[in-house]
Amino acid sequence: MKKTHLIYILIIALISISCSSDDDSDETSTNSINPPEWIQGTWTLELGGMDSGMGFKFTSDDFCSINSSLTSCWKEVVEINQGTTVEEEIDDENYIITINSLNTISNTFHFTKISENEIADVQSFGINNIYIKR
């Protein structure tokens, strides 16, 4: 009887621990894009001391990739493609956004705040590009 009671208590304890959250980030899954204030603006990659024309633009409700004269924004992709979801993890130094299109294609971007004027694009293969706020 004592073993059964002890096992029951352990199971409840494990369920309670696994259901609790102990991080300070906000994680949401919606169909809208909501970058944090600290990242809003235009950020470009500097190569050899010169602006490369490549980077990112963040507004209060959109996230865009900039490649020279071409700007591609994700808000339009999310609005046009039904079934597209947006997952965001936000804290004071990180912004992680995952855009799942039709449950088949997943695009994840991870940005880390270095300073008020610099962010890093965190890559899984270890090379992090540094972007300057313009």
Residue 41, CA atoms < 13 Å, CB-side half-sphere: 14
Q: pLDDT tens, 45-92?
A: 999 888 899 999 999 999 999 998 899 999 998 999 888 999 999 999
Q: In the chain, what are the domain boundaries?
A: 27-133
How many C-beta atoms surround the C-beta of residue 24 within 10 A?
8
pLDDT for res 87: 96
What is the per-residue pLDDT for 68?
86
Q: What's the whole-model pTM score?
A: 0.76
- Listed residue (99, 98, 119) closest to 41, CA to CA: 119
Residue 46 phi/psi, 5-degree rounding, is -105, 125
Asked if residue 30 lies in contact with residue 78, where contact means CB atoms within 8 angstroms, the answer is no
| Residue-wise pLDDT tens digits, 13-57 | 334 333 434 445 556 667 899 999 999 999 999 998 888 999 999
As a whole number of angstroms, the distance between CA 48 and CA 32 comes to: 36
pLDDT digits (tens, 9 = 90+) for 83-128: 899 999 999 999 999 999 876 789 999 999 999 999 999 988 888 9
Residue 9 is predicted with a pLDDT of 42
Which CB contacts under 8 angstroms, 24+ apart, belong to 121-124?
121/56
